[in-house]
Amino acid sequence: MKNYSKINDGWFSEICPMWPGISLSLEIEAILYSKKSPYQQIDLYQTRNHGKMLVLDGIIQLTESDEFAYQEMLAHVPLFAHPHPETVLVIGGGDGGVLREVGRHDGVKIIDFCEIDEAVIDVSKEFLPDMACGFDDPRVRVHIGDGNAYIHGHKNKYDVIIVDSSDPIGPGEILFEQPFYEGLKSALKHNGVIATQGESFFMHKECVANLVKITKELFVVQGYSSILVPTYPGGHIGICLGSLGPEVKKPCRSLSESFQQQLKYYTPQIHEASFVLPYFAKTLFDSI
């Protein structure tokens, strides 16, 4: 994959064919890390106003200023939708942020983690300790390898599967196709729930519609949750959810005050509200 990012006069600009005609720019103070792994170009920048920023193949994965919005919603929406999650699989997300959030659930006994690019984990542990702390949880078991291959080797094993994938270009492309979702379904226990990075219905209507179609066909319950993340193109991203039983659009377990105080974005009210979609998106999804 060509690296489309550009740095000019101290500004990083995310320029990508997935969102033609628009770019997001952040002012950079320092390049902390820049190296190509066997899978992708990894860059870590110190920005002027948004903390450190992780960029893969020229595409912003996170900034310290707003990473909590994405990490909390991707983890807590499916986990609070499940009545009693004990076994959790996280695919992708080598920064450790989703692991950090999953670890807040005391009832979870096993957290398997599968990431194809070990270099992302190493860079995150060095430069993003507030996120990579997720790897310190003794319940976490790290598996370096292809997430698609991993799920096909683990049938009926997980209560919740969370897929923190990059965009559908490069190593993450296969994670947006129907065979992968069939594998996710087969890896779930009875009443299991999946949550996957669902792109933006503003920026990627066709991609989002395809994910909704796949999950509607495979799961008895389906939903799309919307998140505000200022440093993603368009300021928005979604979560595509599928369930073999539990309703995903509202939490089925209560959130203690001590738990809530650990969070910055997720609340039970935000959980429900995130499924209320703009008319154009609701119309699109209802037509599928």
pLDDT score recorded for residue 1: 45
Among residues 43, 95, 164, 167, which one is catalytic?
Answer: 164
Q: Is the pLDDT of residue 4 over 70?
A: no
Q: What dotted CATH number matches 67-286?
A: 3.40.50.150
In sequence order, which ranges of 153-278 are alpha helices (DSSP H)?
Answer: 178-187, 205-218, 257-260, 268-273
Place 109 in a pLDDT band, splitting at 50, 70 and 90.
Answer: very high
Residues 230-234 have a mean pLDDT of 93
Residues of the chain within CATH 3.40.50.150 domain(s) are 67-286
Residues 235-239 have a mean pLDDT of 96
Reported pTM: 0.95
Q: Spell out a b/e string for 202-219, using b for 16 or more CB atoms within 10 Å of the CB, else e.
A: bbbeebbbbbbebbeebb
Dihedral of CA atoms 232, 236, 241, 247 in degrees, nearest 10, equals: 140
- Based on its alpha-carbon atoms, the radius of gyration of the chain, rounded to whole angstroms, reads 18
Q: Spell out the CATH class of 6-63.
A: mainly beta
Least Cα distance to 224 among 249, 246, 257, 189 occurs for: 249
Contact assessment for residue 133 and residue 96, using Cβ atoms and an 8 Å cutoff: yes
Residues of the chain within CATH 2.30.140.10 domain(s) are 6-63
Cα(85)–Cα(246) distance, rounded to whole angstroms?
Answer: 11
Cα(153)–Cα(168) distance, rounded to whole angstroms?
Answer: 23
Read off the pLDDT of residues 220-229 as tens digits, 9 standing for 90 and up: 999 999 999 9
When the pLDDT of each residue in the chain is averaged and rounded to a whole number, the result is 94
Q: Is 136 a catalytic residue?
A: no
Read off the pLDDT of residues 199-219 as tens digits, 9 standing for 90 and up: 999 999 999 999 999 999 999
